[in-house]
Structure 1
Amino acid sequence: MKAMTYRGPYKIRVDSKPEPRLQHPNDAIVRVELAAICGSDLHLYHGMMPDTRVGHTFGHEFIGTVESVGASVQNLRVGDRVMVPFNIFCGSCFFCARGLYSNCHNVNANATAIGGIYGYSHTTGGYDGGQAELVRVPFADVGPTVIPDDIHPEDALLLTDAFSTGYFGAQLADIVEGDTVVVFGAGPVGLAAARSCWLMGAGRVIVVDHIDYRLRKAEQFAYAETLHFGEVDDVVRTLKKMTDGLGADRVIDAVGAEADGHVIQHVTSAKLKLQGGSPVALNWAIDSVRKGGTVSVMGAYGPLYSAVKFGDAMNKGLTLRMNQAPVKRQWPRLFEHIRAGRIAPRELITHRFALDDIAEGYHVFSSKLDGIIKPIITPVA
């Protein structure tokens, strides 16, 4: 089969790889119809994630058609069109029983904190991802869901991670009706979080970023006020002025270790970019939320090179909530919002690339060219 493969930092290509096979009675093989490139894939692309091995296939957002199933699979049939959550989980361990699918205890021997993720290095289990023609789906009875007939395929694709993660970030913020919410980051997840804040009763939403076209998208898609942090001397002070000197009620960090591929050693100005390995956005969140407020974190973090202001968070009486999103848990409610016309996740999609052109897709996305927000991949011609 054709599959995207990693060859080293900034080097990917489409190779011919052996087709995946059933390795367990509860496996399925899915032929990919649509996949996506996620902002967190750029951490891999830039060589920022440990144990990303040459030959690994990325991609944790995909939908497709079931080609074969293992002997014990009960809930799927060959020919079903399915959406596959980015989390790989067993469905029966202590954590899965509590809906913490992203913390499954049985799918990742390489870590104790996080479960399995498709196409996200061997730190998350070493599972090949969906930027390929075919993908092996473990625990096929608990992860994949048949795409409802009234859900657009591209909406289903965006629910496999980006939009569900943004929605989860808004959930973690514990928004109370009328709250002012600040969202750091206007990538797809931040935009989804900002739009979701309104669904949870927010009275005001402010999105912070440093890229003009993404800020325009925040105004158009998320109906948010915007702040370009590169155009102010002090982003925290500016946000305080915008919120009666108190700070926002809730702040959502949708940046994490921003995938620009650099490291901030010292942060002295708001004009410095939110870049890889640095908790700049998290510290801004801690500083700009009001005392007694909540900070929600679902940006992807790797190694940190600067200290998080934990003492400030403690002294302000903040609630910090964070996790990788258990996306399947969000789907029933998100289906309702889509059917009611409140959201159309596919409106985030700006670019479509064939699998053969995926290297160009990564380049455009990484370099933030051509107004790109969310690129998707079409393995099937």
Structure 2
Amino acid sequence: MKALCWTGINKTNVETVDDPRILNEQDVIVKVHLSTTCGSDLHLLGGYIPTMRAGDVLGHEFMGEIVEVGSAVKKHRVGDRVVVCSFIACGRCWYCTHELYSLCDNGNPNPALTETLWGSPIGGCFAYSHALGGFAGSHAEYIRVPYGDYGAFSVPDGVSDRAALFASDAAPTGWTGADLAGITPGDTVAVWGAGGVGQMAARAAMLLGAERVFVIDRFPERLQQVREFIGAETLDYTKDEILAELKERTGGRGPDVCIEAVGMEAHGTGPQYWYDQVKQQLRVQTDRPTALREAIYACRKGGSVFDLGVFGGLVDKFPLGAIMNKGLMFRGAQQHGHRYIPMILDRIAAGDISTEHLATHVLPLSQGPEGYQMFKNKEDGCVRAVFQPGS
């Protein structure tokens, strides 16, 4: 079959790879209808996640049709239209039974790598390096899905393929941040990043009862999407002084909840951004905490900061003193999508959540390298490049 593969730093290519096959009785094989780029893929392309190998199939956010099931699969059958969570979870370990699915003890067959790096292993993720399992990704005609009864979710008849696609990762990741950040009715929330995850975090905050939600970015087309499809207020950090604006608009306190949805390659302005940029390029630090640092400074005393953006290792000038002395609650997580995806699909069907607008560029898989180039460089107003393997 054809698949879009990582072939080196900032290099991808459509290649012929082996068709997936059932390896475990709980597996299902999915014929991919749609698969999308994600901001966290750019960390793989740029070489910031070191455990990629040439030929690894990219892609972790996808939906399609089940074409084969393992003998132990009970909830699905051939022909089911499904969306698949990007994180792989067994559904039965201690973490899964506590709905902490991205921390599954059994989803990652290479636990030693993340245990060495972070002190404990985390779950597996499609196409997110060999540190997170080495699973083949979704930018392909077919994909093997382990633990199919737990990770694949039937798509309601009234939900289009394009709308369901973003229930795989962007929407549940955003909901994870908004929910675990502890948003309560009447809160003011600020979200750094107006990509797919940031937009979905903002919408989740609104549905959880936030009174005002601000989304911070620099790309006019993304900020326009926030106003049009999400209904939140926007700030452009290249034009607005963010800390002062947020204080002014919250009676001098700052937001109750701040959500960072950018990650290790955050853009910014001023000397601290260039300091982080140089240190990261020299590999003196692994991540740029520009947006996360600002979120911590912006949050009101006694508020909550949640890190949704992907970070891999170590950062410099982390404002731990601000967290401690301001009495902030600080949390982070990969998505616990299995907890939220069924609810998100229902809300999409009901019209509470809009996702189709994120698919600004729909391309055949053969144009995958061009799609990633466009997505990486934010060309032609690209918010997400979506690939159709069958076209």
User: Is the TM value for this pair above 0.5?
Assistant: yes
How far apart in 2 are the matches of 1:296 and 1:16? 40
Aligned to 1:104: 104
How far apart in 2 are the matches of 1:137 and 1:268? 39
The 5 Å alignment of 1:243-262 reads 243-258=250-265
Q: TM-score, normalised by structure 1?
A: 0.93
* Paired letter, 1:115: G
Aligned length: 377
Aligned residue among 344, 361, 368 for 2:378: 368
How far apart in 2 are the matches of 1:190 and 1:157? 16
Percent same amino acid at aligned positions?
42
The 3 A distance-change label for structure 1 pair 268 and 4 is closer
* Paired letter, 2:376: S
Aligned to 1:226: 234
The 5 Å alignment of 1:73-88 reads 73-88=73-88
How far apart in 1 are the matches of 2:131 and 2:326? 34
Tell me the CA shift for residue 218 of structure 1: 1.8
How far apart in 2 are the matches of 1:190 and 1:16? 34
Q: Residue 195 of structure 1 contacts residue 221 of structure 1 at CA under 8 Å; is this kept in 2?
A: no
CA RMSD of aligned residues (A): 2.3
* Paired letter, 1:105: D
Aligned: 1:119 with 2:127: yes
The 5 Å alignment of 1:1-381 reads 1-108=1-108, 109-110=110-111, 111=114, 112-232=120-240, 234-258=241-265, 267=272, 277-381=287-391
How far apart in 1 are the matches of 2:253 and 2:379? 37
Give the number of the structure whose residues are more often helix, by fraction.
Answer: 2
How far apart in 2 are the matches of 1:267 and 1:242? 25
Q: Residue 26 of structure 2 contacts residue 73 of structure 2 at CA under 8 Å; is this kept in 1?
A: yes
How far apart in 1 are the matches of 2:74 and 2:297? 50
SS in 2 for 1:286: helix
The 3 A distance-change label for structure 1 pair 264 and 88 is farther
What runs of 5+ residues in structure 2 fail to find an aligned partner? Answer: 115-119, 281-285
Q: Residue 81 of structure 2 contacts residue 155 of structure 2 at CA under 8 Å; is this kept in 1?
A: yes
How far apart in 2 are the matches of 1:72 and 1:117? 22
* Paired letter, 1:17: V
Q: TM-score, normalised by structure 2?
A: 0.91
How far apart in 1 are the matches of 2:378 and 2:193? 14
Tell me the CA shift for residue 264 of structure 1: 10
Q: Residue 171 of structure 2 contacts residue 344 of structure 2 at CA under 8 Å; is this kept in 1?
A: no
The 3 A distance-change label for structure 1 pair 299 and 354 is same
SS in 1 for 2:381: coil
Q: Residue 42 of structure 1 contacts residue 259 of structure 1 at CA under 8 Å; is this kept in 2?
A: no
Q: Residue 265 of structure 1 contacts residue 305 of structure 1 at CA under 8 Å; is this kept in 2?
A: no
SS in 1 for 2:171: helix
How far apart in 2 are the matches of 1:113 and 1:139? 19
